[in-house]
Structure 1
Amino acid sequence: MSEPILTLSDVVVAFDALRAVDGVSMTVPRGQRRAIIGPNGAGKTTLFNAIAGMLPPTGGRIAFDGHDVTRLPPHRRAQLGVSRTFQITNLFPRLSVQDNMVLALRGRSPRKFSLFGTPDVDSAEAQQIAGALDAVRIAARADVAVRDLSYGEQRQLEIALSLVTAPRLLLLDEPAAGLSPSERSMVAGIIRSLDRDITVVLIEHDMDLALGLVDLVTCMFEGRVLVEQPPDEIRRNKQVQEVYLGRPRHA
């Protein structure tokens, strides 16, 4: 097995008496595609927020690439190579696709204060931006205002924003949410084509989509890890069927 890039040890995230994440331990090898699934309220997004630094764990330890990042804020984790998308698009609608990409790239650059005024993109930055837009198949839309993109294209742009900073760990929070079947297929193709230098952990409610993209599945229930198995075994797992899909009416 590859050396782990992400290790969670007994991670707890509590809100008063409620343990939204209740002692989760998980090891993600470099280059792996991992899905985190489970019913609403299982703690998936809270766990994502803890990994990304949006919520400090109440207990436990999070390590990224050998660094203890348990108490690091999101921008420090981003500097180490952690990037994430959100369930709801988080874009600047009046700006062009290109300008959104410049903002994302400069946010982690010593040139971040050059955001004010007309952005002057150097050749290296232009290459990074073009590569990320090409990876998500919207390079031809670089000069279009974000508000004029379709919803599916906006989701593609969000992935590009995460890729432009050359992450080593990409956290995708429901990347296909709200998309049509053809758009879902497009997003699946984008994720499938990502270089294995990028480790991908995703939350996705569409079971067929998620299981078709990953090497291993972590199923959560009531803040805990219920089971970790490859996709084919998850499909047949009775516990997963009961907690994720619901018990049959005749059972």
Structure 2
Amino acid sequence: MHGEATRLPTAPKKRDKVSDPVLILDNVVVAFGALKAVKDISLTVKSGERRAIIGPNGAGKTTLFNAITGVHMPTSGRVTFNGVDVSRKSAHVRTRLGMSRTFQITNLFPTLTVSQNMQLALMGTSSRKFSLLGSAEPTDDDQERIDDALGLSKLRERAGAEVRDLSYGEQRQLEMAMALVSKPKLLLLDEPAAGLSPAERVIVTDIVQSLPRDLTVILIEHDMDLVLKLVDWVTCLNNGEFLAEGSPDSISKDQKVQDVYLGKARDHA
């Protein structure tokens, strides 16, 4: 209409990919019968963030990991990964979408070589595992992924060794390499330094610190000195419930966390 200013379309705002949330938990509950192991947990993890989940034994940390990765479906609440509601999706689907994790207990094939374990891990995330045809040898792209993941995990020189000949620390490194070979967007590490010697803990620390910053990492770990070096943000659980959240420095000074966890964790370190 004559005399009216023409309204131009507004350009969409550019999204800050660094700060976009890669994972959102909305009132997640995991119950086993009458027992609620995880009670109404909500949190948001930004892309590229390093997050620790801490708390005393029985706090619900691994159960929460299982709900995130699809090992257990949440009893209620929502898990959103990269904008997709994955609350009812299987662990395999979540892996295909870009989640990867390690477990407290190593789950390797001891009579196979490091490279063969890596190849099986990679095939497990691709449609090739359903095919009875074709070569079992890795493609050039597969081999590049295997080499890259072993390099990140400081195991490239052990590629030809049988897993049973690896030290326990090297087996933990291999489990991390197997979690990295699919090039995930989100890596969950469940007590990566558990049972390791001080020297082996240094290696794990170096590996996590060297991971690409566009890879989001959430870890459970009882070694608080290690945790406070590695992460940007800490969430503390107690009896399945949210207790506190903040920067490593603020969490280390939080009286509630001190009372229920940090003092005990350091006493038993």
TM score, norm. by length of structure 1: 0.95
Shift of 1:113: 4.2
1:98 corresponds in structure 2 to 115
Structure showing greater Rg: 2
CA deviation after TM superposition for structure 1 residue 109, in Å: 1.7
Residue 51 of structure 1 corresponds to: 68
Distance apart, 1:229 and its partner CA: 0.6
Between the aligned partners of 2:243 and 2:256, the Cα distance in structure 1 is: 8
User: CA–CA distance in 1 between the matches of 2:187 and 2:177?
Assistant: 11
Helix, strand or coil: the match of 1:35? strand
Give the Cα separation in 2 of the matches to 1:19 and 1:55: 13
Match of 2:32 in 1: 15
Deviations, residues 136-161 of structure 1 (Å, cap 9, x unaligned):
10100001000000000000000000
Amino acid at match of 1:204: E
Match for residue 166 of structure 1? 183
1:133-212 equivalences under 5 Å are: 133-212=150-229
- Residue 245 of structure 1, CA deviation: 3.5
- Work out the CA distance in 1 between the residues paired with 2:112 and 2:133: 14
Which of residues 206, 215, 235 is equivalent to 1:218?
Answer: 235
The AA in structure 2 aligned to 1:126 is: Q
Q: C-alpha root-mean-square deviation of aligned residues, in Å?
A: 1.5
Q: Which has the higher contact order (CA 8 A, sep 6+)?
A: 1
Q: What amino acid is the match of 2:205? A: A
Distance between the aligned counterparts of 1:69 and 1:88, measured in 2?
25
One-letter amino acid of the counterpart of residue 78, structure 2: R
1:67 aligns with 2:114: no
Q: C-alpha distance in 2, partners of 1:69/1:111?
A: 23
Structure 1 counterpart of 2:247: 230
Asked if the contact 1:103/1:115 (under 8 Å) is kept, the reply is: no
1:122 deviation in Å?
Answer: 1.4
Is the Cα contact below 8 Å between 1:102 and 1:119 reproduced in 2? no
Distance 2:85 2:155 in 1: 36
* Alignment match of 1:85 (pick from 102, 109, 113): 102
Q: State the secondary structure of the residue aligned to 2:127.
A: coil
Match of residue 10 from structure 2: none
Q: Describe the shift of the 1:246–1:188 C-alpha distance in structure 2 as closer, same or farther (beyond 3 A).
A: closer
Deviation at 1:110, TM superposition (A): 2.5
CA contact (8 A) 2:59 2:237 kept: yes
Alignment of 1:100-139 (within 5 A): 100-113=117-130, 119-139=136-156
1:77-136 CA distances to partner (integer Å, 9 max, x unpaired)?
Answer: 000000000000010000000000000001122322468997311111111000000001
- Counterparts of 1:88 and 1:116, CA distance in 2: 33
* CA distance in structure 2 between the partners assigned to 1:217 and 1:195 by the alignment: 20
Say which SS state the counterpart of residue 51 (structure 1) adopts: helix
- In the alignment, structure 2 segments of 5+ residues that lack a partner are 1-17, 265-269
Alpha carbons of 1:32 and 1:99: their partners in 2 closer, same or farther (altered >3 Å)?
same
Report the Cα distance in structure 2 between the residues aligned to 1:115 and 1:150, rounded to whole angstroms: 34
Q: 1:164 to 1:51 in 2, by over 3 A?
A: same
For 2:255, the aligned partner's letter is K
Q: Distance in 2 between matches of 1:210 and 1:199?
A: 15
- The CA deviation at 1:222 is 1.0
- The alignment covers a number of residue pairs equal to 247
- SS of 2:177's partner is helix
Give, in whole Å, the separation in 1 of the partners of 2:199 and 2:263: 27
**1:51 alignment partner AA:** I
